[in-house]
């Protein structure tokens, strides 16, 4: 669309004077820092004081000034000095950095998907899973069954993992996610069922021949009961050695059990709500049993504590 020069008495038009350039009248930038606003105000005043503009012409979004009214046809829209421009660039860089820092801090206090991406430490601390990729894969298993509501499906998923991992009260979670206590409770019960159905396949009971083929070397003992003295004053050297091997294997089992309980602190709770212990009509497992299955399944997604070689 052709534009006209807004300087009083000038009839130049962009569609007719092809050899001339037309520049926008600078506006005052109000959505940046106060320093930036003052600099743009100064620049605009210089333009208006040096040019005789038509009444109201400078306020139009299409306001242009042709190159006839510049001392030199420079490829810029302002007669600000280089010092002014450098000051404006410094302020802009500083504001950009500050906005980036604020955005990072804001994401750290949120629990949306973006806040977990490229933040392995946050993923491990709040979910117990080794990295964001594993977290995302578990979420994708559950996502088709999570309905949208006051929170996104991912935030609902994270709410449940936070409680499993840190044993946070529902009221705490309600404050964190800015929802009501009843909504937090409803999400908790619904998502536990979804997580249980989606992750129980991770816990597999192999056939005996598969167990024999994949069993770690430390577990391949013919004698699985530790020796007892049975009236003898002491065990033989062979019995001591066998008992030591069995004890080493038991340590692995206890380590795995302890790891699951430490990783998901809801399993350490001494006061379990009665409703978690009850089995609903038509269901085979109580809520606490489903929680145990979920925690074990999620633990299986981490590196094994038992050497496989």
Question: What pLDDT is stored for residue 309 in this prediction?
Answer: 53
SS3 annotation, 168-192: CCHHHHHHHHCCCHHHHHHHHHHHH
pLDDT (mean) for 55-68:
71
115 versus 138: the higher-pLDDT residue is: 138
pLDDT per residue as tens digits for the range 198-212? 999 988 887 888 877
Closest CA to 252 of 223, 279, 215: 215
Alpha-carbon distance of 125 to 138, in angstroms, equals 16
Question: What pLDDT is stored for residue 40 in this prediction?
Answer: 78
pLDDT per residue as tens digits for the range 17-40? 888 888 877 777 776 667 677 777
pLDDT per residue as tens digits for the range 143-199? 999 998 889 999 999 999 999 999 989 999 998 898 999 999 999 999 999 999 999
Model confidence at 102: pLDDT above 70: no
Model confidence at 237: pLDDT above 80: no
């Amino acid at each position: 669309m052709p534009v006209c020069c807004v300087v009083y008495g000038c009839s130049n038009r962009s569609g007719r004077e092809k050899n001339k350039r037309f520049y926008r009248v600078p506006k005052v930038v109000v959505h940046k820092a106060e320093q930036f606003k003052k600099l743009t105000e100064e620049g605009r005043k210089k333009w208006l004081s040096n040019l005789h503009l038509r009444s109201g012409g400078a306020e139009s979004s299409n306001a242009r000034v042709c190159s006839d009214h510049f001392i030199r046809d420079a490829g810029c829209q302002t007669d600000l000095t280089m010092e002014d421009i450098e000051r404006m660039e410094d302020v802009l860089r500083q504001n950009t950095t500050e906005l980036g820092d604020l955005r990072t801090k804001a994401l750290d206090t949120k629990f949306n998907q973006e806040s977990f991406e490229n933040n392995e430490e946050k993923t491990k601390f709040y979910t117990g899973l080794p990295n964001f990729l594993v977290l995302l894969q578990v979420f994708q298993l559950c996502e088709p069954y999570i309905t949208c509501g006051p929170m996104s499906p991912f935030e609902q998923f994270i709410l449940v993992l936070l409680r499993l991992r840190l044993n946070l009260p529902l009221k705490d979670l309600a404050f964190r996610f800015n929802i009501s206590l009843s909504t937090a409770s409803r999400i908790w019960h619904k998502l536990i069922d979804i997580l249980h159905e989606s992750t129980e396949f991770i816990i597999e009971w192999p056939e005996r021949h598969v167990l024999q083929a994949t069993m770690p070397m430390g577990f391949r003992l013919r004698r699985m009961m530790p020796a007892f003295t049975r009236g003898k004053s002491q065990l033989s050297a062979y019995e001591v050695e066998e008992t030591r091997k069995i004890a080493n294997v038991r340590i692995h089992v206890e380590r795995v059990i302890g790891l699951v309980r430490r990783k998901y602190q809801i399993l350490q709770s001494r006061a379990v709500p009665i409703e978690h212990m009850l089995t609903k009509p038509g269901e085979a497992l109580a809520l606490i049993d489903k929680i145990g299955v979920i925690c074990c399944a999620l633990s299986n997604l981490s590196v094994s504590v038992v050497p496989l070689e």
